[in-house]
Structure 1
Amino acid sequence: MTDTAETTTTIPRWHVAGDWFDTCKCNVPCPCTFAQLPTFGDCEGVMVWHIREGSYGDVALDGLNVLILGSFTGNVWARQHSDAYAALFIDERADEAQRGAIQMIFGGQAGSWPAEFARISAMEVRGMEFAPIEFQIDDDLGSWSAAIPGRVEARAEALTGPTTPEGARVQSTNLPGSETGPGQVATWGRATADRADAYGFMWSREGQSSKHITFDWAGPD
């Protein structure tokens, strides 16, 4: 990790905002979001970022996607965890400058919340590659999905029930453990597909927890 003084002089001003969601092993709602132990003591799943608008200096990042497969044992937010691993996929549509910018931001080297999350999660990266990442989300947050054909599929529908008003979403604020940082709102869902087969990550399930949270980061501060 580059020190703060060096970061502020060598990293350009940057900003990214958009949609994040996960599908994971935990029961609904994932206890990790409340800074508690995962349902089964360990967790694994898919995390997806869609950059609605963004820039890294003069490099535009609008419309690009990032996907991570991850796993760990214990409570990440209490930093009482082990066996933390990740694999990073960057949108293959990104050109060379965009790829470099995304690696700096999401790797934590460009500061802001991603740097803090990297310190907290302390994940060992098994691999990184550029891949075709398909992303979809309903305007009303009724469902969200992402896929890397033949390797990863994550799809969920917004949680509802007999006392949920039609069209309303089940949401939480002031999350103790939000992967996108403080101050965001989580919309809860249930995974209809959660599959992975890459870099030693292998699972296939449905019916477990999913949540959508927006993100809005700026750096290098």
Structure 2
Amino acid sequence: VNCNCDYGCPCQFNARPTDGTCRAVVAWRIDSGHFGDTRLDGLHAVNIYAWPGAIHEGNGSMQSIIDERASDAQRTALVAILQGEGADPGAVMLQIYRTMCTAAHEPLYEPIHLDIDIAERTARLSIPGLVDSAVEPIRNPVTGAPHRARVDLPFGKEFRLAEVASGRTRATGVIPLELANT
């Protein structure tokens, strides 16, 4: 995830988004998983979001980008997952995000290159012609050394424990993003 807010995301602390809006790119690498009887192992998927205010105020827009390697059945399953279909209201964040979006643009089926190194806390996302994103550890402003930070929310809705990192994203599709050091 790379969003436009300051490190740690004020929304996690019931505060307003840093600049008053919420914009984000979220990428998934599915190592092993399924939706119903449809296996999704080895696929990637991305959602891009933009809200004019805080997420809970609604009126957002979203677009899903599905790994071009997905079969028709896998594409159908991934679109359903990414748009929160089949989940009880409020049960999963993807369902909440979709509910808070008045516009859901048609999904795209593109080559998605996603490299994640959990130990190093780095990631790189590339969807040629659409998205370029990178995440790395926050750097100490004096020494430049990696600065590890985590947020622990025992009753968190989006997560319970998360690493905080520094990201940059450029997206040029129907939901353009230009994020740096967020």
In structure 2, distance between residues paired with 1:46 and 1:121: 16
Aligned length: 177
Aligned to 1:196: 171
Q: Is 1:207 matched with 2:181?
A: yes
8 Å CA contact 1:86, 1:125 repeated in 2:
yes
SS, match of residue 32 in structure 1: helix
Q: Is 1:47 matched with 2:26?
A: yes
Distance 1:153-1:126 versus aligned 2 partners, 3 A rule: same
Q: RMSD between aligned alpha carbons? A: 2.6
Aligned to 1:28: 7
Structure 1 unaligned spans of 5+: 1-21, 209-221
Deviation at 1:96, TM superposition (A): 1.1
Q: Kindly report which structure 2 residues correspond to 1:117-136, keeping only aligned pairs within 5 A, or say none.
A: 117-118=96-97, 121-136=100-115
Q: Equivalent pairs: percent with the same residue?
A: 27
What is the aligned counterpart of 1:156 among 112, 117, 135?
135
Q: Give TM-score, length-normalised by structure 2.
A: 0.83
Q: Deviations over 1:154-191 (max 9, x none)?
A: 111022438xxx8883111217765xx45x32111111
- What letter is aligned with 1:84? G
Structure 2 unaligned spans of 5+: none
Distance 1:202-1:106 versus aligned 2 partners, 3 A rule: closer
8 Å CA contact 2:140, 2:146 repeated in 1:
no
In structure 2, distance between residues paired with 1:167 and 1:43: 26
In structure 1, distance between residues paired with 2:98 and 2:68: 27
Higher relative contact order (CA 8 A, sep 6+): 1
Distance 1:116-1:125 versus aligned 2 partners, 3 A rule: closer
What is the aligned counterpart of 1:59 among 38, 58, 62?
38
